[in-house]
Chains A and B, each alone.
Chain A
Amino acid sequence: MTSLNFEPIQLTRGQSIRKWIKDYNPPWIALTILTVLLFCGFFANFLVGDPMTNDLKARQIPPFTDWSHIFGTDILGKDMTARLVFGCRSVLLVTAPSIIVALLIGTTVGLLAGYARGWVDSVLMRITDATLGFPSILVAMLIVTFVGTGYTGVIIAVTATTWARFARMIRGEVLSVRERDFVVLAGILGVSPVMIMWRHLMPNVINTLMVMISLMIGQVILLEASLSFLGIGMSPGEPAWGIMVAEGRQQLLTTWWVSLFPGILITLVVMAFNFFGDWLRDYLDPRLRRAR
């Protein structure tokens, strides 16, 4: 057989999945943590009991001593397991909306500033700089003072301090993409600025955006935890990890587990998002693919 029309090797589904895993080496530990976080967040009410019930007869049970309270109970006898699992839910409930809103505002501002340049750029970027320059906790305190604690307050506070990072990042990317010939050609052709942004600029900054999102989620979780810890985030008693760390603070030497476990979870989840973001950046950049 001397035919040059060789058939491409057809991989079965299983083979191609295995090949993908081998080539791209996804971060398994991070993905597992994130999957557990999502699962617990969505199904918290099926998995565990009520995180708000006080059981004063079963106060301060140390972890791993009582099978009905594996992670122990806090000073009011609330089940730690239930509170930790419901904590996943509040992480999702705060993070998702604030990231989405911050993303929308940040992307719009970044696209406009990067594409229009001139005074539009100057005005938008000075606002962005001002936002970035302000200590985020201080801004959050101000906002929570006006709106009040709880989900809405935290989401507004977190959004107000994170949108600027998206704006900066997107503007930088747009500045480099807009100089490429296909954007220049579209301009010559008479494509409207809105269409240029939507058709040419946006798709070419989306990779950066994806990476940015996964890294920012970690930051947002930390910020929410800090706010809750300071008592200006979620309402006291809510099953949020930051609140739990704060609740355990006074009895750190005796009931150490009340602070320790949510602290560990915050660290794990933030790190998982960061590792996932790092991997995603490599995966989306063709030049870095197969580099390892």
Chain B
Amino acid sequence: MASTDNSLIKVNNLKKHYPVTKGAITKTLVGTVKAIDGISFDINKGETFSLVGESGCGKTTTTKMILMSEPPTDGIVQYEGSDMAEFTTASRKEFKSSVQAVFQDPWSSLNPKMRVRDIIAEPIVTHEKATNNEIQERVNELLGVVGMHPFHAERYPHEFSGGQRQRIAIARALSTRPKLMVLDEPVSALDVSIRAQVLNLLKELQQTYELSYLMIAHNLATVKYMSHQVAVMYLGKIVELGNPKEIFGDPRHPYTRALISAALPSHPRLQRDELVLVGEVPSPIDPPSNCVFRTRCPEPTDDCKNGNIEMGLIEVSPGHWVDQCCANCG
């Protein structure tokens, strides 16, 4: 794939299969859920890489493996050129301090029994040896960076609004000066009027600190605004990958087109092409053979079914990759 020297994370043919077992004592394998089935992409330094797709397509599983909270079944994730599966204790610790996450729900991501100061300082306390004064200074500075005041440090999370809580979560994620931040729907729980503020804050931070983001979002407007690269996922596979201009301006895959047509246009008068897919997402336990999308494709051919077309992504224009089977369909 479009690999450059500028990449921070390299994901190569990543797979995550969960066994489905039956029986309490003698466990028999009745199938595997292919949550992720061979995906590859790069996250560049200082750029935002977004994953879009409907619920259950494997976005969150992907982030879990990149955050090392779950081991992959197969495939390689490289961080700054070194394989994460072969991390030593020291490099693992270093990785943990340079990768942080911000989750969707700011009501659940802050411990209600800790003061804001301790919440923000937790990554520092975990990974560095700092004196109380240094921590205090860092916390105050971080609160300033996310647009809050030092006196907020003494308060508890329930005293803040959703937007402020998300700022606190971002300040916490910034505290160890990470290189990669995983944003799992960072604004979808927030009031619409607050979203832009938080997104702009994230953009500013990206420029100031050269941060890379791995973002999951359902709101395509958010994705378009934030991303440098977008990957559209369907049933554990990436079906289209490219920069947002290409993906949203010239979508090649029918699934991408359906996704875009399902989103509200930016103006109510704007005409849009309605493309509604029929049927349901197939079960990941028993995905369709060959092209996974063929059961819902508006124009499936016999070739899709009997596998006469080679699988995998092909480059349709520089940096714009589409699943081979569907690239030619529509």
A residues apposed to B, CB below 8 Å: 180-182, 184-191, 195, 199-200, 203-204, 206
Contacts and interface: CB of A to CB of B under 8 A. Distances in A.
Given A187-B69, A188-B69, A204-B113, A180 B108 contact: yes
Contacts of A182: 108-111
B246 interface: no
**Majority-rule SS of B interface residues:** loop
A204 B109 contact: no
B126 A181 contact: no
B111 A188 contact: no
Nearest to B100: A189
Contacts of B122: 186, 189, 191, 199
Given A180-B108, A181-B109, A200-B111, A188 B127 contact: no
B126 A185 contact: no
A190 B101 contact: no
Interface in B81-123: 92-93, 96-97, 100-101, 103, 105, 108-114, 122-123
Interface string B188-224: 0000000000000000000000000000000000000
B111 A204 contact: yes
Contacts of B93: 190
A188 B101 contact: yes
A interface, by DSSP: helix, strand, loop or mixed? helix
Nearest to A190: B96
Nearest to B111: A182
Contact of B126 (A189, A200, A204, A206): A189
Contact of A181 (B69, B108, B113): B108
Contacts, number: 47
Contact of A190 (B105, B109, B113, B126): B126
Interface residues of B, number: 22
Given A180-B108, A189-B123, A203-B113, 18 more contacts: A181-B103, A182-B108, A182-B109, A186-B122, A188-B67, A188-B68, A188-B69, A188-B96, A189-B122, A189-B127, A190-B92, A190-B93, A190-B96, A195-B126, A200-B111, A203-B111, A204-B112, A204-B113
Contacts of A206: 113
B134 to A, nearest CB: 19
B330 to A, nearest CB: 40
Interface in B13-45: none
A32 to B, nearest CB: 32
Contacts of B69: 184, 187-188
A189 B96 contact: yes
A43 B96 CA distance: 57
A246 B131 CA distance: 63
Contacts of B100: 189
Nearest to B118: A199
Nearest to A177: B111
A182 B93 CA distance: 19
Given A181-B105, A181-B109, A188-B101, A199 B126 contact: no
A239 B112 CA distance: 46
Contacts of A184: 69, 103
Interface string B45-78: 0000000000000000000000111000000000
A142 to B, nearest CB: 32
B232 to A, nearest CB: 26
Contacts of A187: 69
Contacts of A181: 103, 105, 108-109
10 contacts: A181-B103, A182-B110, A184-B103, A186-B122, A188-B68, A189-B96, A189-B122, A190-B93, A190-B96, A204-B111
A181 to B, nearest CB: 4
Ranked nearest first, the 3 interchain pairs of A and B with the lowest CB-CB distance are A203-B113, A190-B96, A181-B109
Nearest to B127: A190
A187 B69 CA distance: 8
B67 A191 contact: no
A181 B103 CA distance: 7
Contacts of A189: 96, 100, 122-123, 126-127
B105 to A, nearest CB: 6
B86 to A, nearest CB: 18
Nearest to B63: A188
A145 B92 CA distance: 55
Nearest to A200: B111
